[in-house]
Amino acid sequence: MIVVTGGAGFIGSAVVAYLNATGERDILIVDNLADSAKWKNLVALKYSDFVHKSQFLARLERGDFGRPRAIVHMGACSATTETDGDYLMANNYAYTRVLAEYALEKDIRFVYASSAATYGGIEAGFNDDDATSLTLKPINRYGYSKQIFDEVAIAKGWTKQIAGLKFFNVYGPNEYHKKEMSSVIYKAFHQINEYGFLKLFKSHRPDFGDGEQKRDFVYIKDCVEVIGQLLQNPKANGIFNLGSGVARSWNELASAVFAAMGKERRIEYIDMPAQLIGSYQYFTQASMQKLQAAGIRLKQTSLEDGVADYVKNYLAAGELRLQDRPL
């Protein structure tokens, strides 16, 4: 059995879709559906059981699931704007630590989600070596809740046996339930359809023009390919960046969406909300050498190709899920 926590969420359900495509069916999904629309991500997936996240750890310790072959831990609070620090620490740090300790004790392959938010406001280079990781200073509670586990994993030497992924700006099918936390590509598609133009934040720094803030955008299909390889190669361990390795501007992203929709580019620049100004990242770009050195092959879909695939084959087709088309 392979356990996928957060298995109904964006990246988690995409992982299950990838596993299904490789013939895996004995999958335990752990999640909390509540009133979220993410249940729709489960409809076309093949899995053996579903367990609520509040029951999972106790049942795992009790041996209800035998000895899983692997645990892919994507479950967490992923809202970068979440202000409840206790909630973030319980979900993103404490839960992850208990699960990691169990996997290490039982010699179970453990792959977990860290985040590029751990880098905070630095722009000099996003290096994922352990020495750098121990010096990072996140600029929001979400980033800190991810950073503290990474620090513990490094200090205890766990990174020699487990794999963590610092996801950069992931976009693609299965994110539809994320609402305000969905990618700008998803929001842009609907905004352009409704109004004919796209709103982007103005820059509040003189060294960046409006819409010229840059991020590392990575397609979900590339992410699940990496996770699949990490499951197949238990010797590829450490905390790794997972991005495209190329920083692209919001203006370039907008152009890609307009092009995929066959529409003329129209952008309106708006003021950034006051609460974001002090915690906004103006530049992110993943250094990908460490992951490649671990023997992982990177697909690295270009922004234009990823946006075109997402818009034409999923969004314009009625918000299809990843599992609705051959991977």
Tell me the per-residue pLDDT of 140-162, one tens digit each, with 9 for 90 and over: 899 999 999 999 999 999 999 99
Q: CA–CA separation, 93 vs 145, rounded Å?
A: 6
pLDDT at 123: 62
Q: Which residues are catalytic?
A: 142, 178
Does the structure show a pLDDT above 70 at 106?
yes
Averaged pLDDT for residues 283-293: 95
Instruction: Give the side-chain half-sphere CA count within 13 A for 29.
Output: 30
Q: CA–CA separation, 288 vs 285, rounded Å?
A: 9
Query: Topology of domain 2-173+216-245+285-302, per CATH?
Result: Rossmann fold (3.40.50)
Q: Looking up tokens 């352990």, which residue turns up?
A: 130
Closest C-alpha to 229, from 3, 18, 9, 8 = 18
Averaged pLDDT for residues 23-49: 97
How many C-beta atoms lie closer than 10 Å to residue 18's C-beta?
21
Tell me the per-residue pLDDT of 307-327, one tens digit each, with 9 for 90 and over: 999 999 999 999 999 999 998
Tell me the per-residue pLDDT of 108-127, one tens digit each, with 9 for 90 and over: 999 999 999 999 877 657 99
Q: What is the mean pLDDT of the chain?
A: 95
Which residue has better confidence, 81 or 118?
118
Helix (H) or strand (E) holding 166: strand 163-167
Tell me the per-residue pLDDT of 219-265, one tens digit each, with 9 for 90 and over: 999 999 999 999 999 999 999 999 999 999 999 999 999 999 999 99
Closest C-alpha to 250, from 207, 300, 220, 284 = 284
Domain coordinates in residue numbering, the chain: 2-173+216-245+285-302
Averaged pLDDT for residues 268-289: 89
